[in-house]
Each structure stands twice: as structure tokens, then as C-alpha cells.
């Protein structure tokens, strides 16, 4: 039987998504079916075209539940720009009537606030922060052979490796990002890779290679969050941090760092705690369509 499903295409700082209200269960919960649908819809040649697909589903713990799948069909626990988009989508479609609320994700309960031209969400405190460790990429012949990088790591709902660079415009994000994403240091799940340039006392530029999309995207919410937090922990910036994305949009990351150690600089994750993390930026409807399933 043919089903007609209404969807909304949204963009958040260039990170784009296909949004579907699935509270009625019109899309089956079978993982293989949902994964195939995400691949089909996100295909930029034969589908709608997007970095990911987001479903709104019923929740007993919050106003609704967010389910996120990358364009390759893999399901992940969190997407920062997707989370901001789903809050705007929920209000746009009448799922919620208020400007503040909560929704459920595998990464935890997310609080949101809808503003006139932006959406602000509260993110979980980062986990697994690791500072300043070496990784070597490119074991075969080629331009990246034997490249030794200094990396940092933070899980802001999904894993992110953060690399500081001197010239962000000339950084080969796809080539380096792909090597970092599959590096043994981040096995078994792999990682996203963020390349960061500090541009001011409270500003950075960020380019991200996203796991699951397997390419550079125009923005990554959890990526700018990880980049801003690592930059702050290392004393390179002060929050709130303005993050310039590849798409030319600004995302603002705020947080609080509480010192535990007494040294002149932070050297280990046991010496600090990061709390009160928030992400704010634009999230807009692009168009509405109908899918024949």
C-alpha cells in the first residue's frame, strides 16, 4: 500500500535535514527499514538531499523524542544542529505550542528555547575529554604519509577529535578527516574530526569531517561545541565562544569550566569539569514536500 508522508527540509547553519513527524508510527521502527529510508531521502542525486534524517516520536519522559540517522543510514545518539532544528520543527508543525521545553535523545534529555531568529539548546556535559596526544596518519605513500598531529578529544553526545591548524582555509579536511575518523586511536566506533583556528579571545573558525556523512559538512553543532570547549580548557578562548562554520554562519557555544587542580595550566581531565553547555544558532525551514512510500 502506498503511503503519502509529509516531510520538512530544514537547514541549521548549512547542516541540512529531512524532518518527519512519526508520532503516529507511519514509518516502521524496524532498523533496516528506517536506515534504508534515511539513505534514500538523504541522497542528493536521487532523493531530497540532506546530511541526515530526523524523526519525531512519542516520549514518556519529555515533550517528544528525537531519532537521528546520518545520510549513510547509521543511527547516532546526538546531533547538535539537528537538535536545534527538531525544536523549531516541533513548533512549526504544532507538536508543541510553547517556546521552551524538552525532548528525549539517546544522549539524554535536551532542553531547548526558541527565539525569534535562533534556537538555543542545552547539551550534556562532555565526556571522555583527553588533551594533547599524538596521532600519526598515512601509513602508505602519499601526501599525508607519516603526518604527525597533536589531537584532543571530547564526546559532546558523539565523539570528536579536535586538531588546531594554522591555515584553516588550506587544510585538507576531507583527506585528513577521513584518516582521523578511522584511526586506531578512536576504534571501534571512530570519530568526527574538527579542524580549528583561534581567531580572537572568544572566537574560532571550525571545519568538520562528519562520521556517517563521510565528508566535510557546512556545520556541525556537536563539533563546534567540542572545539569551543577544548579551546577554552586549553586557555585559548573565553566563553561564550563565537564559532564560524564552513557555511559562513555563526554558532555560539557557552559553558562553565570549574578548576579542580591548582596548577598554572590545565593538563589533564581530572583537573577541571565542564558544565552548563549550550549551543545557539539559526534553524530554518527550507521547504515542505510529500513522500510516496
Average pLDDT over residues 181-199: 94
Asked if 237 contacts 202 with a C-beta cutoff of 8 angstroms, the reply is yes
Decide whether 4-123+282-292 matches 127-276 in CATH topology: yes
Architecture of domain 4-123+282-292: Roll (3.10)
What span, in angstroms and rounded, lies between the C-alpha atoms of 49 and 221? 19
Residue-wise pLDDT tens digits, 221-240: 999 999 999 999 999 999 99
Evaluate if residue 261 carries a pLDDT over 90. Answer: no
Task: Please state the domain extents for the chain.
Answer: 4-123+282-292, 127-276
- Name residues whose C-beta falls within 8 Å of residue 291's C-beta, 6 or more positions apart in sequence: 4, 5, 6, 7, 41, 48
CA dihedral defined by 94, 97, 99, 104, rounded to 10 degrees?
Answer: -70
Nearest one of 251, 286, 226 to 120, comparing CA atoms: 251
> What residues act catalytically?
79, 220
Is the whole-model pTM more than 0.95?
no
Model pLDDT, residue 141: 45
Residue-wise pLDDT tens digits, 53-75: 999 999 999 999 999 999 999 99
Nearest one of 93, 81, 112, 105 to 7, comparing CA atoms: 93
What is the DSSP track for 127-140? EEEEEEEEEEE--S
What span, in angstroms and rounded, lies between the C-alpha atoms of 162 and 153? 6
Asked if 197 contacts 191 with a C-beta cutoff of 8 angstroms, the reply is no
Right CATH number for 127-276 from 1.10.357.10, 3.10.310.10, 3.40.50.10880, 3.90.1720.10? 3.10.310.10
Amino acid at each position: 500500500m502506498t503511503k503519502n508522508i509529509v516531510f520538512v527540509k530544514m537547514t541549521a547553519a548549512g547542516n541540512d535535514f529531512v524532518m518527519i513527524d512519526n508520532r503516529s508510527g507511519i514509518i516502521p521502527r524496524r532498523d533496516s527499514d528506517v536506515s534504508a529510508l534515511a539513505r534514500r531521502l538523504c541522497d542528493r542525486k536521487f532523493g531530497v538531499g540532506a546530511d541526515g534524517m530526523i524523526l519525531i516520536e512519542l516520549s514518556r519522559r519529555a515533550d517528544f523524542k528525537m531519532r537521528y540517522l546520518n545520510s549513510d543510514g547509521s543511527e547516532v545518539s546526538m546531533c547538535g544542529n539537528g537538535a536545534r532544528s527538531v525544536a523549531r520543527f516541533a513548533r512549526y508543525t504544532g507538536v508543541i505550542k510553547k517556546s521552551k521545553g524538552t525532548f528525549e535523545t539517546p544522549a539524554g534529555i535536551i532542553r531547548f528555547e526558541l527565539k525569534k531568529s535562533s534556537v538555543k539548546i542545552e547539551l550534556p556535559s562532555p565526556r571522555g575529554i583527553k588533551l594533547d596526544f599524538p596521532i600519526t596518519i598515512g601509513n602508505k605513500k602519499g601526501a599525508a604519509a607519516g603526518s604527525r598531529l597533536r589531537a584532543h578529544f571530547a564526546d559532546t553526545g558523539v565523539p570528536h577529535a579536535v586538531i588546531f591548524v594554522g591555515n584553516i582555509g588550506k587544510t585538507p579536511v576531507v583527506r585528513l578527516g577521513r584518516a582521523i575518523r578511522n584511526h586506531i586511536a578512536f576504534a571501534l566506533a571512530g570519530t568526527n574530526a574538527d579542524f580549528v583556528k583561534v581567531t580572537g579571545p572568544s572566537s574560532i573558525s571550525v571545519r568538520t569531517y562528519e562520521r556517517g556523512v563521510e565528508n566535510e559538512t557546512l556545520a556541525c553543532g556537536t563539533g563546534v561545541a567540542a572545539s569551543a570547549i577544548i579551546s577554552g580548557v586549553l586557555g585559548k578562548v573565553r566563553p561564550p565562544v563565537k564559532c564560524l562554520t564552513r557555511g559562513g554562519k555563526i554558532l555560539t557555544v557557552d559553558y562553565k569550566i570549574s578548576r579542580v587542580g591548582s596548577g598554572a595550566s590545565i593538563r589533564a581531565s581530572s583537573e577541571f569539569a565542564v558544565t552548563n553547555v549550550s549551543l545557539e544558532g539559526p534553524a530554518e525551514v527550507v521547504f515542505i514536500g510529500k513522500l510516496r512510500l
